[in-house]
Amino acid sequence: MKRALTTLCLLIIYFSNAFSSHAQHIQLSDRAAISVITYGPGNALYEKFGHTAIRVRDTKQDIDWVYNYGIFDFNEANFYVNFVRGYMKYRLAVYPFPPTLHSYNRDERWVKEQILNLNTTQKQAFFNLLSENAKPENRSYFYDPYFNNCSTKPRDLIEQVIGKPLTLDSTTPSLSLRQLMNREIHPNTWGSVGINIALGNTLDGQISPRDYLYLPDYVFESLAQTEIQQGANKEPLVVKTLTILPHKTKEVQSDGWSSPLVFIGLFSLFITWTSFRDYQRKRRSKWLDITLFVGTGIFGVLLVFLWFFTNHSTAPNNFNTLWAFAPNLIIAFYIGKKNTPKWLATYSVVLLCLLAFIPLVWALNWQQFAYPLTSLFVALSVRYTFLWYAIKNFE
């Protein structure tokens, strides 16, 4: 699969170089049309949000190109390191439009086209901007999934050409970036849980309607609602909407029996049951404490790394560090000792206080947590309470 994607990227890059060189000298004819292509969601995690691209068609000059801001290359130097550090580069690629429909049809993803109501001058200006951006020295950009992606790029270009921001219905419900994301990816999936753990409360603040346009479906809606001034009249920005591939929208589904709610729930029940059994026997299962402290400590270190040592705009201020507590990784070396240090009882109280802060953070909407983690929060509270009791009374 990776080899196929790499081959596809190389072909796209080859076509992009050829088209960008050729496009610099093209004057669009009176038959030219510029449209926004919106692709429905797919099955893979990175396809869940759908996709946006720009199509330029001029039948007089035999042009039918798609401008796609969503291309990345696995073979790029330090690709994985840059991805982790938040310096992942995407690029604008240009290639023939019709062949691209085969893969979307195969994956049963709908494709819709909105032809823009632009005059000749605006079409040429739009085309010139695209041609400039497609030059090798300009086509790469630092990707941000919420603020600089394959949907925000077309949005910005359209606004530059029409000279006004795109509009979105004022009746659109007031949602945060995280809530919008959780509409596209079911919260009870491992992908959603992982993203919600990794990203901080930047996703939970108030946003403007324009910020909704990081998602392709909202770009589609806003284009349909925007009006522009053409001469003395106000006219719709979209002159015609076409359905190119009429597949049904894929349902947002959980991971079922393999979902985090099931696995985390069962693990939490095991922690609670083991703690109750240990209480009855007056004996502590130190292997479980070591496992919990190592696990939460590793998660904590990763969150601290994302927060302070990467360029991810939404990683800072992450309240998941209340349960994924980095110092636990060090404490794990003490928690399994034969003679448990008495100060660990006080440390257990500190951990309980941190966990007690989570419902307050959640209720005040400072940050929303992945709901499949709820049972884990309860189980950790039970275990830390037992740990305090065990150290105080029989260790």
Question: What is the pLDDT tens value at each position of the chain, 395 positions in all?
Answer: 444 444 445 445 545 555 555 555 689 999 999 999 999 999 988 899 999 999 999 999 999 999 999 988 766 777 767 877 888 889 999 999 999 999 999 999 999 999 999 999 999 999 999 999 999 999 999 999 999 999 999 999 999 999 999 988 766 778 999 999 999 999 999 999 999 999 999 999 988 888 999 999 999 999 999 999 877 888 999 999 999 999 999 999 999 999 999 999 999 999 999 999 999 999 999 999 999 999 999 999 999 999 999 999 999 999 999 999 999 999 999 998 888 899 999 999 999 999 999 999 999 999 999 999 999 999 999 999 999 999 999 87
Quick one: pLDDT at residue 18? 54
Predicted TM-score of the model (pTM)? 0.89
> How many angstroms separate the CA atoms of 56 and 241, rounded?
15
Q: Which residue has the tokens 């909704």?
A: 212
Please, are residues 31 and 58 in contact by the beta-carbon 8 Å criterion? yes
- DSSP E strands in 159-301: the ranges are 227-230, 233-236, 238-245
Asked whether 344 and 391 are in contact (CB, 8 A), the reply is: yes
Contacts of 261 (CB under 8 A, 6+ apart): 188, 254, 371, 372
Three-state secondary-structure class, residue 242: strand
CB–CB of 203/177 below 8 Å?
Answer: yes
Residue whose structure tokens are 């206080």: 353
How far is the C-alpha of 300 from the C-alpha of 306, rounded, in Å?
Answer: 10
- The pLDDT value recorded for residue 15 is 55
pLDDT for res 233: 83
Beta bridge partners of 66: 55, 95
> Which among 321, 37, 49 has a CA at the least distance from the CA of 183?
49
* Dihedral, 59, 63, 69, 71 alpha carbons, nearest 10: 130
pLDDT of residue 23: 59
pLDDT at position 21: 53
Q: Using CA atoms, how far apart are residues 229 and 108, in angstroms rounded to an integer? A: 37
